[in-house]
Amino acid sequence: MNYYNTHAISPLIIAHNKEQTLEINGGEFNQQIQKVVKILHSFNGKCIAYKLDNTPAWFVIDAATAVSNKVAVPIAHFFSEQQTQYVLAQCGANIFMSDTPNPLLGEPTASITLFECYTLYIYEIVVANPVSYFPDTQKVTFTSGSTGQPKGVCLSANSQMQVAQSLCDKINIKKPVHLCLLPLAVLLENIAGVYAPLKSGGTVHLMPLNELGFVGTALKQPAQFIAAIDKVKPNTLILVPELLACLVTFAEDGWQPPSSLQFIAVGGALVSEMLIVKARSLNLPVYQGYGLSEAASVVSLNTPTNDNLHSAGTVLPHLQTKIEDGQLFIKGEIFLGYLNHPPHDKNHWYATGDLVEQRQNTLFIKGRLKNLIITSMGRNISAEWPESLLLSQSGILQAVVFGEGRPFLSAIIYADSKLCNPELAQYINAINKQLPDYARIQKWHRLAAPLSVQQGLLTTNNRPKRMAISQQYHDVFEQFYQFGEVINE
């Protein structure tokens, strides 16, 4: 079985690192895939989990699982060790593959070197409670976990490739040069940044995430990020809003975006219209889209030939949509169901949880039904998750977390007067160690008096009125994100 011929993919990958640039064609990839397939067949079990950097090895494992008829579970590099262990348990992985040793799993069962330079460590796992997968499950993608427990979204190969094909048709750039800037385990980059360009006969460039300037989920060295774009001179990119803001800042300071750029998709969180306007004025051809894992990534997208600046674009042709009580429902070739939950009938409508207006097949995103924070880096975090950890400390009496569309989380806190600020800071630091980096409280404001029903900041059953609190402390939040100072009332 040739994975590429099956899905009309002609791979050409160019991998960059500090030592070398490696160009890999379809024949070379197929040799490495067969090498991995042979190893996978030597192990029992159905599920292969892998946690790898942005290198060609990731794509080899991704393809080899499909050829071997195994269930692939890519794990994002930014998942904490606790989340990784949770995913391994939830998916019933029989094999875990990583490009770094994992002491918690003991000694590797085996190892393999791909393209003579990428060593992978293979761990065989004894599964206590075998997991049943839906028929046709090819990949399980885990969200970043709004409650700290990521949810497994089961996808067929057909659903993934259908989205990729719809994107090829809609974007309509022949033989695009694409640079992957998001982790490959993020479904959006996996589908729209690898499968779609390759289906269009394009070339995909890969760089290790640390060489792109990332530490965890945060872009710590933005100059490296810009240098990568300058080096590759891509036609297409996929960004989350925070990364787009980085490009805009550099362009305002005199950086000239490569003239090769034809299409920059931005998604993962709602993008400000002002940011898109500013980006375009600086020769960054930015187009907003909208999607979710349950739809195998992209649902709608703006393009140069069909663009509405106020919207998240038109719906991809393989999907049906409807709006009920302001909420978007979708139907079509979407997910099979959540892992360890009942299946989703593809003939039934799926409620997205997003408040949307739709006009002439174009989506206008208004917000979310639930209190789910989506940061500007595209991470999903339920506010109740870090809040519950803060409130588990006896001296912290009230805590409300914010960060929608922002690069990090901040909090409004009311604490016992006996607790001094250094002690409160120690508590928060200890809690942050229990959280992955994208869900940590980086700035906080201490209240002199508690939030109250009388102020209109709490409901009658003492739940926070988030919008009212956000408005009340608007200046505080603006100061957080402008100056980054901890403020005490």
SS3 of 389-454: the string is HHHCCCCEEEEEEECCCCCCEEEEEEECCCCCHHHHHHHHHHHHCCCCHHHCEEEEEECCCCCCCC
Q: Which amino acid is at 236?
A: T
Both 364 and 441 in one domain: the answer is: no
Give the pLDDT confidence score for residue 485 in this predicted structure. 44
Place of tokens 């427990």: 149
CA distance 190 to 206: 12
pLDDT at 85 over 60: yes
Both 267 and 215 in one domain: the answer is: yes
Which pLDDT band, with edges at 50, 70 and 90, does 153 fall under? Answer: very high
Q: Write phi, then psi, for 332 (nearest 5 degrees).
A: 140, -150
pTM score, whole prediction: 0.84
Is residue 309 assigned to a domain?
Answer: yes
**Final residue of a structural domain among 343, 368, 393:** 368
pLDDT at 483 over 60: no
Both 330 and 422 in one domain: the answer is: no
28-42, 142-156, 209-223, range with the lowest pLDDT: 142-156
Is residue 72 assigned to a domain?
Answer: yes
Give the pLDDT confidence score for residue 136 in this predicted structure. 96
Give the pLDDT confidence score for residue 91 in this predicted structure. 95
Is the separation of the CB atoms in 259 and 225 below 8 Å?
A: no
pLDDT at 1 over 60: no
Both 325 and 415 in one domain: the answer is: no
Query: Total domain count for the chain?
Result: 2
pLDDT at 476 over 90: yes
Is residue 373 assigned to a domain?
Answer: no
Q: What is the mean pLDDT of residues 111-134?
A: 94
Give the pLDDT confidence score for residue 452 in this predicted structure. 86
Both 187 and 275 in one domain: the answer is: yes
Both 270 and 329 in one domain: the answer is: yes
- 146 by DSSP, 3-state: which? coil
The per-residue pLDDT for range 317-354, each reduced to its tens digit, is: 999 999 998 899 999 999 999 999 999 998 999 999 88
Is the separation of the CB atoms in 290 and 363 below 8 Å?
A: yes
Both 364 and 243 in one domain: the answer is: yes
pLDDT at 423 over 70: yes
Is residue 183 assigned to a domain?
Answer: yes
Give the pLDDT confidence score for residue 407 in this predicted structure. 93
Is residue 349 assigned to a domain?
Answer: yes
Is residue 377 assigned to a domain?
Answer: no
pLDDT at 129 over 90: no
Both 165 and 263 in one domain: the answer is: yes
Residue-number span of the structural domain to which 8 is assigned = 3-368
Both 274 and 359 in one domain: the answer is: yes
Both 112 and 164 in one domain: the answer is: yes
Structure tokens at 188: 């959006």
Give the pLDDT confidence score for residue 484 in this predicted structure. 44
Is residue 434 assigned to a domain?
Answer: yes
Give the pLDDT confidence score for residue 285 in this predicted structure. 98
The string of DSSP letters for 60-116 reads HHHHHHHHTT-EEEE--TTS-HHHHHHHHHHHT-SEEEESS--GGG-S-SEEEEETT
Give the pLDDT confidence score for residue 395 in this predicted structure. 84
Both 11 and 56 in one domain: the answer is: yes
CATH number (domain holding residue 442): 3.30.300.30
Q: What is the mean pLDDT of residues 34-39?
A: 96
**Final residue of a structural domain among 345, 368, 391:** 368
Give the pLDDT confidence score for residue 488 in this predicted structure. 52
For residue 465, give the H/E element and its range. none
CA atoms in the 13 A half-sphere facing the CB of 20: 8
Which pLDDT band, with edges at 50, 70 and 90, does 461 fall under? Answer: low
**Final residue of a structural domain among 368, 392, 426:** 368
Is the separation of the CB atoms in 90 and 206 below 8 Å?
A: no
Is residue 376 assigned to a domain?
Answer: no
Q: Write phi, then psi, for 208 (nearest 5 degrees).
A: -55, 145
Question: How many CB atoms sit inside 10 A of residue 45's CB?
Answer: 17
The per-residue pLDDT for range 357-383, each reduced to its tens digit, is: 999 999 998 877 777 898 998 998 878
Give the pLDDT confidence score for residue 144 in this predicted structure. 63
CATH number (domain holding residue 29): 3.40.50.12780
- 321 by DSSP, 3-state: which? strand
Both 339 and 204 in one domain: the answer is: yes
- Whether the CA torsion 367, 370, 371, 373 is positive or negative: it is negative
